[in-house]
Structure 1
Amino acid sequence: ERKFVGGSGQVSERIMDLLGDQVKLNHPVTHVDQSSDNIIIETLNHEHYECKYVINAIPPNLTAKIHFRPELPADRNQLIQRLPMGAIIKCMMYYKEAFWKKK
């Protein structure tokens, strides 16, 4: 098994360093509208963001609290409802280079 020296959190921290203020922490999302060329995100505080891509970094069952347009497939929603919190804990990603080590 491969491990990150210092923890895998370095990957998201490095991405955050590269993207700067484009990364929004502590902005709970309530709506994701993918019905046009760009994606419109609405937060709990009614802030709106327009973007080309979204990284959803929450447990799958919490996506039920977000309104998607168009709606997510019903089969997917049923599967997510049946998964207990913590049932999915790993995500394997391989990168060409260890960019998070560059400072």
Structure 2
Amino acid sequence: MILDTHIQGIPCRVRLTYHRKEDSPVLNGPMDWADPGSPEEVDFAVLDMQDKPAPHIEREMLPEDRAAIEQELIAAIHAEAEQVRADAAELAFNEWGAYA
């Protein structure tokens, strides 16, 4: 997945390189079994507008830029998953679903 974005006003792209879903907390059972879970994680590579690695742009990135890009990527991942679910639901209820 590649998204267009800006880092410190510089137009660039980011490519998703790692994604781990959120682990839900485990709060039932004995206290020594409790697990606080972990948040969703993403990592990305910064690219120029020709999709080539851009370390010079990445060096300009502030923590706020990183956080914003991570949230953009997570939102895009969720939107893509929702579209896949919607497409699957549409096929399931299509009268030609079994034959399409």
Q: What TM-score do you get using the length of structure 2 for normalisation? A: 0.24
Q: What TM-score do you get using the length of structure 1 for normalisation? A: 0.23
Instruction: Report which of the two has the higher share of helix.
Output: 2
